[in-house]
Amino acid sequence: MRSAPKSKAREPAPVVLTPEEIAFVRGLVIFEDAELLGLAKPAGLSSQGGRIRVHTLDELLWAFAKPGKARPRLIHRLDRDTSGVILAAKTKPAAGFLGKAMMARKIRKTYRAIVTPGAPEPRGGTIETALRREEIGREAYMRTCVADHPDAEAAMTRYRTLAEASGTALVELEPATGRMHQLRVHLASIGRPIAGDARYGGALVVAGRPVPRLMLHAAALSFPHPGGGTTRIEAPEPADMAGLTAALDLERRP
């Protein structure tokens, strides 16, 4: 039996933004051309579907919509407490092109994280532990599991240590897959949870210094551009993470 034809998803109604919200989201732009927007998302801002009664980044993108036109579309998401590069497409063709690139794993994401206690062992490598989703009340968690678990999702993360100090380290991460909370759970699974990650066992105080939030930053994004060639966008570390990195003597060393 044939399935019924799918109806077209409706574009949500435009969101009315305040001048302050428009100025705020425009201030996040770190890359822009005729087809794409690259933004430096701050920690604490939901990409989509947040429960807090403030506008999400997806809704704030109405600041870039031309009269009578749709807003730019997010190509991927970041966790609410993760800072860094996030990409949006201004046109449907660009969104379709990048969606296919994402499915083909042609978009390369680079993250940095502060972990404890010390550098991973070995200092660099690949984590290929499968993950499964678990619901507890209204909260969703990811758990490690065996590859043949009925709910298993394959997951792969490459990592390397950039710097190490007493009881902590700065690591660079490249996820080859895009599972929810993947980097957080993978690092916790090797005994090096991300500082500030209370959900997955991360330290809330490091070397006597309070950790203000999840110390995970999407530092760079490299991707095929719809117009040709490869584009790389970088987002500087926000002040809270850069300050803790410096205080812990974890500034990247050659």
CA distance 108 to 111: 10
Query: Hey, what are 22's tokens?
Result: 């428009």
Rounded to an integer, what is the distance from CA 197 to the centroid of its chain? Answer: 14
3-state secondary structure of 223: strand
Q: Give yes or no for a contact between 77 and 207, defined as CB atoms under 8 angstroms apart.
A: no
Out of 58, 79, 81, 197, pick the active-site residue. Answer: 79
- C-alpha torsion 179→113→176→34, nearest 10: 90
- C-alpha torsion 12→14→18→20, nearest 10: 70
Q: Give yes or no for a contact between 141 and 133, defined as CB atoms under 8 angstroms apart.
A: yes
CA distance 177 to 155: 6
To the query of whether residue 79 is one of the catalytic residues in this protein, the response is: yes
Q: Which residues are identified as catalytic?
A: 79
